[in-house]
Amino acid sequence: MPELLEVIELGNPILRQKAQPVQDVQSERIQTLVENLLITVKEANGVGIAAPQVAQSDRLFIVASRPNLRYPNAPTMEPTAMINPRLLAQADETVTGWEGCLSI
């Protein structure tokens, strides 16, 4: 049964560490972590959460964008797990915005 996870806060050293690659995406541990992250981000009314934010050093995050009070024009996106993500390209332009991290 999925469980709500405790979100660690700024100052916890795991948030500064490089997360480890996920070796077995199909493992019970990773599948359970994904389910628990989905519940946790929904309950926190967040748009995303990463495994290190719940003290798990795995390269895995959930994105679940939808309009809310803070971001009324946010796009709606089904909750999606991103495992071992990589940046393939980077724009020259930088766009700034307010931080909405659940760990801050």
**Domain boundaries of the chain, sorted by first residue:** 24-83
0.75 surpassed by pTM? yes
Instruction: Show the low-confidence residues of the chain (pLDDT under 50).
Output: none
Structure tokens at 79: 């909750």
Give which of 89, 85, 38 is closest to 60, Cα–Cα: 85
Residues 6+ away with beta carbon under 8 Å from 63 = 47, 48, 77, 79, 80, 82
